[in-house]
Every structure is written in C-alpha cells, then in structure tokens.
Amino acid sequence: MKNLVIISCASLIFATACNQNTTEKEPMKITPPKADRIAKNLEIHGDVRSDDYYWLNDRENEEVIDYLERENDYYDKMT
C-alpha cells in the first residue's frame, strides 16, 4: 500500500511536469555595432605601435558619441 502511494505521487508529479507548456523566446536578430578601424601610429621612446581605435578617444567627436550610443543601446537590448 505504501509503495502504491509513492508510485502514484511520483507518477502524478511526472505527468504534471511533462504537461506544462514552455515557450522559448525566439533569439533576437540584433547585430552589435561595429567600430570603424582607423590606423594611427603612436611613437613613445622610439617604439611605434598602431592603434586602430585611437579615434574613440575624442569625446567631443559626434561620430564617437553616436557609436557609443549605439553600443549602449545594443547592451540594453541584450540584457
């Protein structure tokens, strides 16, 4: 009798768990913004290095502000 109750309860739990409808969200088709690559050579102490994203340092540039706003918008949509 005790085994019958345990089996009945387990079957009931299993049946209700399998019956629930789960809907998966369709993945969003949002692409991240892509920053332009503009090469700039920087020389310090005789060493030269290339920085393709140096232009992002200019905080007054409208293109930089626009790119950062698009990047923030992308982040907000993905989180």
pLDDT along the chain (79 residues), means of 10: 77 69 72 96 96 96 97 94
Backbone angles phi, psi at 21, to 5 degrees: -85, 125
Q: Are 1 and 48 in contact (CB under 8 A)?
A: no
Q: Tell whether the torsion through CA atoms of 30, 38, 50 and 62 is positive or negative.
A: negative
What pTM, to 2 d.p., does this model score? 0.60
pLDDT, residue 39, reads: 96
